[in-house]
Structure 1
Amino acid sequence: MVKVAVVISFNPSYNFWFNLIDISQLHFLRHFSNKNIKRATAGFRIVANLSSGPVYRAKFQDGLMAMVKEVKTFPQGKAAFYKEVQLLGHLHHCHLVGLRGFSTGRERFLVFEYTERGSLKEHLTDPLKTPLTWKTRLLIVTGVAAALEYLYFFCNPPIYHVSINSSNVLLDENFNAKLSDVGLLGSRGNHIGKSHLLCSRECMDQECRNIIFQLGVLILELITGQPSEEDGTDLLVQWVQDSNFLRSMHKIVDPALGNTYDSIELRTLLIVARLCTKTDGNPKFSMQQILWYLQRKAD
């Protein structure tokens, strides 16, 4: 059986509160040499474009298939980089792209598991790909919500730095969603590395609102087939906030779905997207409630 993996860049600007570690403590991850990675990426063929940048196809001499992107900078130094690798290496969830290894030296790389079918965006926009079924789309958003629940409630420190869009959702051979752009708590603020107890409620609420909003936009992407990078996304968010949005809901469905979708499920998913993308006040529900609802629909 051919082994596969993905290498994705990581370029954070975190301040760490923990004791520094060395490379010997990363024995549970594979250590790649720069030379092997460069040889494996000969030609630099782009196979995916995440929001953090392109990733490249690689083939190692031992048969390992991968996608590679260089970590351009990491000002905190090697010890901080090793700790980052250690923390990411301990994230284990079926809907997260799992870290498998890393590379250090003049250049640094992170090595993640490979996802055979590329990004969700490709499947929504490439006319040469078979359109995703309604059931598959529902399972994809359910998988993403499950990954978010894990990051928010079951990680210590909790992970709030997540970029959720069709470019960063990767699909394996069975079309299972794998969230790829994940970082540590506080990448956008100065509350880095604090636990739930130490982080201010206001800060946690704001980060949670951002995540829930992004999930709502992803639901709209899956329904319409329109990636969030397109200018029309703001219009969709405005449309779903209109009090009469349900009257025209069939007009915004991805034409590739034809009439194969469930109208009742469409209506309820749009209501979830509407609640997620409300910008006035705090969300009236938690990520766990969203996941529970989506799981019921997926089942």
Structure 2
Amino acid sequence: MVVAIKQLNLDGQQGSHEFVTEVIMLSLFDHSNLVKLFGYCTDGDQRLLVYEYMPMGSLEHHLFDPERKTLSWNIRMKIAVGAARGVEYLQCRAYPPVIYRDLKSANILLDHDFNPKLSDFGLAKLGPIGDKTHVSTRVMGTYGYCAPEYAMSGKLTLKSDIYSFGVVLLELITGHKALDLSRKSGHQNLVAWFRPYFNERRKYSKMVDPRLQGNYPLRSLHHAIAITAMCLQEDANRRPLIRDIVIALEYIASKSNCDFNTCQQQEPETDIN
């Protein structure tokens, strides 16, 4: 069997904590859109995790490595659906619900058919239950993907992951990184750059990854941007539930597989509020 082995850097207590969290979380999880943990090894200072091997690497590499073949629109929507299903499992089927806390394109791995699996659960946190609305924790994760309310207050909710998912959707649509310091001022933070476009449909085509060369159904693009905009609401309470996001993305993916001319005919709008 071919496997992937991850060697953890245990500098400081955080590394050891993340190792234990990863082992516990992935030992409990079982879903087709979450990477499988086959085993682990501890010996002295060594900490190894043994995962299923994901031959196509990470979504990050496919989106941002110019040497990689451009992902088609259909593949991008397939990846979005699978990643959303993984988050839905964590939020709706795990108990207590789990907040992933590090949802980003680098942590979405792809098998040989471009089916996505969420990986790296070292920062995962058990979510609020009962009357609690949030859990308080030290701000962790990756800059550019963190929800604004979490970054400012340390208050973590299920809707924090929805914001991060919106950033990944925006990366899939635009082909740009969440944070790219090599770009000019005003274009470095992806969400800030494209937020003004969300309310101007005539500018939607300007948001799309130019490497797609116009090969996408226009209506599917409109729906995808609408979902992305809802996920990126600054008011966390206005962000949609993950189960509604899954339904909406499944609808988009099904329409993306039809003929482009047919896809651009008038279709009923998808309401995920």
* TM-score for both structures, normalised by structure 2: 0.74
Aligned AA for 1:245?
A: E
- 8 Å Cα contact 2:10-2:16 kept in structure 1: no
Pick one of 169, 193, 196 that aligns with 2:129.
196
Whose radius of gyration is greater, 1 or 2?
Answer: 1
Pick one of 87, 90, 93 that aligns with 1:154.
93
Match of 1:290 in 2: 245
Using the TM superposition, give the Cα deviation of residue 92 of structure 1 relative to its aligned residue in structure 2, in angstroms. 1.1
Partners of 1:83 and 1:217 lie apart in 2 by 25
Aligned AA for 2:65?
A: D
Using the TM superposition, give the Cα deviation of residue 196 of structure 1 relative to its aligned residue in structure 2, in angstroms. 2.2
Partners of 1:236 and 1:250 lie apart in 2 by 16
Q: How does 1:132-151 map to 2 (within 5 A)?
A: 132-151=71-90
Match of 2:3 in 1: 5
Structure 2 vs 1, CA of residues 235 and 129 (structure 1 numbering), >3 Å: closer, same or farther? Answer: closer
Long gaps (5+) in structure 2: 137-154, 182-186, 255-273
CA deviation string 1:51-89 (max 9, x = no partner)? xxxxxxxxxxxxxxxxx3224157499999668624422
Match of 1:51 in 2: none
Structure 2 vs 1, CA of residues 103 and 258 (structure 1 numbering), >3 Å: closer, same or farther? Answer: same
Pick one of 100, 103, 111 that aligns with 1:172.
111
Structure 2 vs 1, CA of residues 245 and 5 (structure 1 numbering), >3 Å: closer, same or farther? Answer: farther
Q: Which moved more, 1:219-228 or 1:232-241?
A: 232-241
Using the TM superposition, give the Cα deviation of residue 237 of structure 1 relative to its aligned residue in structure 2, in angstroms. 3.9
Pick one of 247, 261, 270 that aligns with 2:225.
270
CA deviation string 1:165-221 (max 9, x = no partner)? 2211111111111111224653xxxxxx57623x71244984222111111111110
Match of 1:218 in 2: 168
CA RMSD, 1 decimal: 2.8
- 8 Å Cα contact 2:107-2:119 kept in structure 1: yes
Question: If each structure's helix is expressed as a fraction of its own residues, which one has the higher value?
Answer: 2
* TM-score for both structures, normalised by structure 1: 0.68
Partners of 1:79 and 1:213 lie apart in 2 by 25
Q: How does 1:7-156 map to 2 (within 5 A)?
A: 7=5, 68-72=6-10, 75=13, 85-106=23-44, 107-156=46-95
- 8 Å Cα contact 2:177-2:190 kept in structure 1: no
CA deviation string 1:84-125 (max 9, x = no partner)? 624422211111111111011111111111100111111112
Aligned AA for 1:273?
A: T
Match of 1:234 in 2: 189
- 8 Å Cα contact 2:75-2:114 kept in structure 1: yes
Structure 2 vs 1, CA of residues 169 and 208 (structure 1 numbering), >3 Å: closer, same or farther? Answer: same
What secondary structure is seen at the aligned counterpart in 2 of 1:201? coil
Match of 2:260 in 1: none
Using the TM superposition, give the Cα deviation of residue 252 of structure 1 relative to its aligned residue in structure 2, in angstroms. 2.0
Aligned residues: 230
Overall identity of the aligned pairs, in %: 32
Using the TM superposition, give the Cα deviation of residue 253 of structure 1 relative to its aligned residue in structure 2, in angstroms. 1.0
- 8 Å Cα contact 1:162-1:181 kept in structure 2: no
